[in-house]
Amino acid sequence: MKRILVVGAGGQIGTELIPHLQKHYGEDNVIAADLNPANVERLKTFAIAESLDALDFQAYGEMIKKYRIDSLFNLVALLSATGEKNPQLAWKINMGALLNSLNLAKEFNCAIFTPSSIGAFGYNTPHVKTPQDTVMRPNTIYGVCKVTGELLGDYYHTRFGVDSRSVRFPGIISNGALPGGGTTDYAVEVFYEVLKNGKYTCQVPEDSYMDMLYMPDALNAITQLMEADPAKLKHRNSFNVTCMSFNPRELFTAIKKRIPSFEWNFEIDPVKADIAASWPDSLDDSCAREEWGWNPQWHMDAMIDDMLKAVKVKIDKGLY
Ligand code: SER
């Protein structure tokens, strides 16, 4: 990877992936593209940033040519809960951006990373220690897009030799940009609410287990996988990765140990409750460990301490 284009760069992952890539590959070699003008302005404060609609094949190709790109990171997506509000739009955006990215990767000989998700699994997937290769029958449009994306990624690799790689991200906890429209968002929102208002209303049932990753581990997953020796990869699209699994009650109880005045209650969103129930409780990430050395560092307690510190700094500075 020498010249990298990140599309959908203004979201939760891109906002922190850009500085991570700049550190590894040099500031001049990382281009951040996003459709939303406010995101482009924000990205311009720390990166080479461009306005780009990833559904515009022509414009996307021009940008690859302009910057002589050799690696694409496609982060464009509507998340799981938002997708259920408008499934047709979710399909159009998620699949449109992915197909353009794959076809352009083929045309310009680029490597391509695009995240899959625990959302690719469904009710009839084994929920505990979910294996790498297992039943994948998701019941959300987001999940349908992710499974299709995994299949297409592998198809473009075997059929056209495209160097496509991907991980199935669980919920990602971070303190850069907020996530939006996801079922796992509660595990980020709670930190802001507890520090600002001392309380949090959760839409996901208290006993719903889901896998989570802290952002530093998620970023390492991306660069480690993209740098991995292709000869060692038995899988490509996509690898299970995880570091912790908890339910809302366990997370909130652990936060309360640090902030005894914290109070929470539940106003269940039936869509999110259904999605959470259909996803795995815990993933088996042994293939990622064996094939490219995945070794996450941030477990629950260290993550909570770091989040509370970082979000407090943001709130004290009036940034939230
Ligand atoms: N964080 C995503 C969501 O909840 C999962 O990939 O939709």
- Specify whether the CB–CB gap between 128 and 137 falls below 8 A: no
Nearest to 274 by CA among 229, 208, 213: 208
- pLDDT at residue 319 in the model: 84
Global confidence as pTM: 0.96
Between vectors from CA 295 to CA 11 and to CA 221, what angle results, nearest 5°? 25
Ligand 1 atom nearest residue 80's Cα: 7
User: Any idea which residues carry the catalytic annotation?
Assistant: 142
- Phi-psi region at 109: left, alpha or beta (left = phi > 0; alpha = psi -120 to 50): left
- Phi-psi region at 7: left, alpha or beta (left = phi > 0; alpha = psi -120 to 50): beta
- pLDDT at residue 320 in the model: 82
Ligand 1 atom nearest residue 172's Cα: 1
- Specify whether the CB–CB gap between 215 and 172 falls below 8 A: yes
Domain ranges of the chain: 4-170, 172-212+242-316
Q: Which two tokens stand for residue 312?
A: 């407090």
| Beta strands per DSSP E along the chain | 4-7, 30-34, 48-51, 71-74, 111-113, 116-117, 164-165, 167-169, 171-173, 199-202, 210-214, 239-240, 244-246, 263-266
What averages of pLDDT result for each successive group of 10 residues across the chain (320 residues)?
94 97 97 97 98 98 98 96 96 98 98 98 97 97 98 98 98 93 96 97 98 98 97 97 98 98 98 97 97 97 98 91
Q: Is 88 exposed, middle or buried (0-12, 13-18, 19+ CB in 10 A)?
A: exposed
For domain 4-170, give the fold: Rossmann fold (3.40.50)
Antiparallel, parallel or unpaired: β 210-214 and 244-246: antiparallel
Residue 117 Cβ inside 6 Å of ligand 1? The answer reads yes
Nearest protein CA to atom 2 of ligand 1, as residue: 182
Would you say domain 172-212+242-316 falls under CATH 3.40.50.720?
yes
**Test site for ligand 1: of 76, 118, 173, 178, most ligand atoms within 8 A of the Cβ:** 118
Secondary structure string (H, E, C) spanning 15-39: HHHHHHHHHHHCHHHEEEEECCHHH
**CATH topology identical between 4-170 and 172-212+242-316:** yes
Q: Which two tokens stand for residue 281?
A: 């409780």
Nearest protein CA to atom 6 of ligand 1, as residue: 117
Place of tokens 């990382």: 30
- Specify whether the CB–CB gap between 157 and 289 falls below 8 A: no
Residue 115 Cβ inside 6 Å of ligand 1? The answer reads no
